[in-house]
Structure 1
């Protein structure tokens, strides 16, 4: 680029940052511009955004150059052009935004609110083949969150789906994806066999159990003939076999955990640059520090075209518009909102019977930031949306017991409520075996479930529990997310959850899809204030009860005081 300033002796070819000086002699000298590549990029963006076809000059950039011809040394003092040569960050941001919009046009929000009360899946715009498959599975009426999420996702919006545990969030994002991907997709120009090769959807889950559960849902909808089109990549399984299955089956949908997907991707065995959908299920868990490096790789590769384009100079800003990002969670703390704004494009917040901008909810930002996990547990973000994440048909109780009597209290609670399928939560892995031993010694079939068990042992235990061979499943926080046992009618907290979010996810294992359920927290006397704090944060009535004569009796206020006094006296 030649910039002609004045007389031949003043000809120059250079761009420079402010406060820099260049001395030109009698001959034209070409100067290196490698140290100011960033300045070139800004100039190129401005030219492209305004559609200029002429040469790039200082005047076209809004710069001024004044040369004092009286100076004997014949030099141009660019340092004196301080105010003229500064380009504001706001101008650069405006140029980047204008180019970003040219790459990925913002979708306007056009959601028919009548769909929120849809009586059939056929009203939501799904593929006819998919609707037929749903009817064969006995699924005809969508839940509230499905009625809101399905048409929004079909309109290509990036979304954050929030609803209580067990409300049908998995199908809320699977159905619109299957309506666009695979053999059940909508016909294109009457051609039903137009299947694109390659991976078109990647679904990330924080645990193996949740990942395998999602795979089973997809396989059920695809049918035996096409179930190979979904592939699981979860930790704890043989990686070589998973890579062989990827090469042989050529799946369209990948479901897995962050570590294994990042591992296979780094090995060059997983190509996801052409992916159309990225789903982050239980996204608040995926934001924890443990997943940070793996999630970074996934977000950098999924849906990012590898082919070089002029817009690639913008990096992620332009390329991220090539995928549709779907975040799913029962709770939406500040960390999730920040992630949605960073990873998505104008994301919408989808709740039961409501769709709106993500800015429609206000979450107090934490005063300091150390890590995503710290933000999730901060006081400002903990309570946001937690009450909405609880199944509506639940009853909440707590009872006071000494630590050595907790297992016996659990057994009495199961009998008093006549619960057939029970999940008991503890905070640590070590005591699980002891609880199982005590329950079985009293004639109650039970088993433990935790991360230290092998894949086969975990699968076998879950199958027995779902088939009714086990009455009590004793587990830790592992099963608080992703464990789908619709028949579960009682959740017992043998140890107090660490916060209201963990309470909500534990409680969500019962009362699923509109069923009734009960949650009982067994605590010691000094822990009662924690239960009351959870009650205030959740905004639900957690009633104190006692177990006498094989019945669960709710205590009145004066009886509560008497029980507390009695506990203090006996201790």
Structure 2
């Protein structure tokens, strides 16, 4: 039995890995809603006005089943250039093997390239990481080219003496993209993707680096900084400025033109949310300070005068800089002085006028005042219309939130919280969000007791036709590290070589395990041989395991979200896959509820819950109650 199996230590993973290497033929990654080509876009700005908050974003209607590959790729765009990506990045994507955009990329890229905040929620394996990396690379390179051209023009103008003192006062800082991930493994995966995009000289088109306690930042900031929220907060609190002012909190905030939260649903809850909230608050405050400083210089406003500026004008400043302030009615110092002089002249003239003509002079004064207001308004309008040439550009940070699950049924859900904080964000969701792909084969087996568990696991692996053909890449999920060690020993004892992947396994062994999958998947004609990995949920989120043919839940997922991420490891990028779920009495309510939703092709969001809350709800009602319908059960 599994529970009586001898549990070897994590260090034993290395010898087992060596054994596996020998067995392989190759050596050991709202509101208003409109549907566009099967994917839902939600403009969240008017959510509270037209629909209840719990309906944001809506779950898309199931689409007719299509061929797996056809359903994955974009329907209308055949190239990344058609979606707005600059030629240099499009060519790099082609060279890296990304020949066509996916359906999710087809919809997300135009919104990201437009500069809008975006919440991208789409099923696992839909190409979400590239959906933000490609436009970020395009915008960073395009902005760098424009800045270089402007600098060259300014240098030429200075050389011939034609430079103007009213030229743009935007700070000359290198912009970067900041990508936040839950853990180091996901950070490394993002860096590998960025580094895989080659430039004309063969080197990476843009540079990326990871910042952590063990990897201090480089002297020169790269184009993309990838880190965890906790590591970045620690850097700011400890010794970030000792690596240079660019690595202080103010330095990063002033350069990070783009902030991405990958696996956003995880980052916005639990132990991550405190650090993420601290960073977002700091970035928002930093944006305001930078814009204020620039506007004060442009409009010649002193610190003391700024303190007296009404808040309505400050809010206009934060939203659109000097042009927005002028449009809101703010008058520059020269206009204020001119108005004061005119008022003084009017008062002096009124004092010299005889009392007998006071009625006539009062009427004339009112007419003159009206003319002055009209002239001032015309002046403001004129200055506002030409302000694009006089003021800015200002730092406008763009926020992207990316996730495979985005609960949005109750006010405590991550989706609702994001909608409150980023009211103008565009929501992009895949048509299979919170659903299981139709080209996944599911096998459900209820165990009558723990004595059946080991035999069922061995049978699930050895009975797999792909395994019998020597072409299987099997991912076995265990509930914790101890159980994972036990399952690995059990499989090895039954003649099934395997590798371990969890936090207690040495990093070298984890890296080799990922490489085993990648090498086997890359081998032509299935020549890579069988690869079996035993893992905790460390491999369920974000980790790119190429071409997993079979997912086996030796221990059933404790939540529907966990189930969705596990199942999402297979059938990625339009390929087929298989899932075997073993469950006992303790897991039966959740497992059989999910089984019904999967068989009916329905989104499983109604099954979302925390582990303890799900158990309490079942105990209270004596059965599974869909999320959001608890109140109906009381009547």
Question: Could you tell me which residue of structure 1 aligns to residue 342 of structure 2?
Answer: none
Question: Could you tell me which residue of structure 2 aligns to residue 337 of structure 1?
Answer: 415
1:278 equivalent to 2:259? Answer yes
1:424 equivalent to 2:476? Answer yes
Secondary structure at 1:179's aligned position in 2? helix
Aligned counterparts of 1:312 and 1:120: Cα–Cα separation in 2: 49
Offset at 1:343?
Answer: 3.9
Offset at 1:292?
Answer: 2.5
Secondary structure at 1:138's aligned position in 2? coil
Question: Could you tell me which residue of structure 2 aligns to residue 125 of structure 1?
Answer: 84
Aligned counterparts of 1:436 and 1:192: Cα–Cα separation in 2: 60
Secondary structure at 2:573's aligned position in 1? helix
Secondary structure at 1:396's aligned position in 2? strand
Contact 2:182 2:263 in 1 (8 A): yes
CA deviations on 1:115-169 (whole Å, 9 max, x unpaired) are 8621111210101100111111222211100000001111111111111100100
Contact 2:406 2:414 in 1 (8 A): yes
Aligned counterparts of 1:134 and 1:157: Cα–Cα separation in 2: 23
Offset at 1:439?
Answer: 0.8
Distance verdict in 2 for CA 1:272–1:443, change over 3 Å = same
Contact 1:197 1:250 in 2 (8 A): no
Aligned counterparts of 2:546 and 2:172: Cα–Cα separation in 1: 36
CA deviations on 1:529-567 (whole Å, 9 max, x unpaired) are 33211124456569xxxxxxxxxxxxxxxxxxxxxxxxx
Contact 2:116 2:398 in 1 (8 A): yes
Distance verdict in 2 for CA 1:301–1:219, change over 3 Å = farther
Secondary structure at 1:512's aligned position in 2? coil
Which among 411, 424, 428 is matched to residue 346 of structure 1?
424
Contact 1:158 1:325 in 2 (8 A): yes
Contact 1:174 1:218 in 2 (8 A): yes
Distance verdict in 2 for CA 1:439–1:134, change over 3 Å = same
* TM-score, scaled relative to structure 1: 0.62
Offset at 1:336?
Answer: 2.5
1:398 equivalent to 2:444? Answer yes
Offset at 1:227?
Answer: 6.8
Offset at 1:416?
Answer: 2.2
Contact 1:333 1:385 in 2 (8 A): no
Distance verdict in 2 for CA 1:160–1:541, change over 3 Å = closer
Question: Could you tell me which residue of structure 1 aligns to residue 194 of structure 2?
Answer: 218
Contact 2:194 2:206 in 1 (8 A): no
CA deviations on 1:510-536 (whole Å, 9 max, x unpaired) are 000000001110112564333211124
Aligned counterparts of 2:109 and 2:510: Cα–Cα separation in 1: 33
Question: Could you tell me which residue of structure 2 aligns to residue 478 of structure 1?
Answer: 538
Question: Could you tell me which residue of structure 2 aligns to residue 407 of structure 1?
Answer: 454
Offset at 1:185?
Answer: 6.3
CA deviations on 1:84-106 (whole Å, 9 max, x unpaired) are xxxxxxxxxxxxxxxxxxxxxxx
1:297 equivalent to 2:274? Answer no
Trace 1:306-385 onto structure 2 (pairs within 5 A).
Answer: 306-307=289-290, 308-309=292-293, 318=318, 322-334=396-408, 335-352=413-430, 385=433
CA deviations on 1:363-416 (whole Å, 9 max, x unpaired) are xxxxxxxxxxxxxxxxxxxxx9522xx334212221133323323322221232
1:464 equivalent to 2:516? Answer yes
Secondary structure at 1:424's aligned position in 2? strand
Secondary structure at 1:473's aligned position in 2? strand
Question: Could you tell me which residue of structure 2 aligns to residue 442 of structure 1?
Answer: 494
Offset at 1:177?
Answer: 0.5
Aligned residues: 388
Secondary structure at 2:123's aligned position in 1? coil
Structure 2: where are the runs of 5+ without partners? 1-73, 153-170, 242-246, 294-305, 321-394, 521-528, 603-635
1:149 equivalent to 2:129? Answer no
Distance verdict in 2 for CA 1:196–1:408, change over 3 Å = farther
1:528 equivalent to 2:588? Answer yes
Distance verdict in 2 for CA 1:156–1:116, change over 3 Å = farther
Which among 167, 176, 179 is matched to residue 138 of structure 2?
179
Contact 2:514 2:545 in 1 (8 A): no
Aligned counterparts of 1:519 and 1:450: Cα–Cα separation in 2: 21
Aligned counterparts of 2:280 and 2:310: Cα–Cα separation in 1: 16
Runs of 4+ displaced beyond 6 Å: 192-196, 311-317
CA deviations on 1:466-515 (whole Å, 9 max, x unpaired) are 32387211111111101211221111111111222111110010000000
Which among 377, 386, 389 is matched to residue 434 of structure 2?
386
* TM-score, scaled relative to structure 2: 0.56
Question: Could you tell me which residue of structure 1 aligns to residue 339 of structure 2?
Answer: none
Relative to its length, the structure with more helix (as a share) is 2
Which among 181, 185, 200 is matched to residue 176 of structure 2?
200
Aligned counterparts of 2:178 and 2:147: Cα–Cα separation in 1: 26
Larger RCO, structures 1/2 (Cα 8 Å, 6+ apart): 2
Distance verdict in 2 for CA 1:338–1:176, change over 3 Å = same
Contact 1:127 1:186 in 2 (8 A): no
Aligned counterparts of 1:160 and 1:256: Cα–Cα separation in 2: 20
Distance verdict in 2 for CA 1:228–1:450, change over 3 Å = same
Aligned counterparts of 2:172 and 2:441: Cα–Cα separation in 1: 48
Structure 1: where are the runs of 5+ without partners? 1-114, 354-383, 543-571
Question: Could you tell me which residue of structure 2 aligns to residue 231 of structure 1?
Answer: 209
Question: Could you tell me which residue of structure 2 aligns to residue 22 of structure 1?
Answer: none
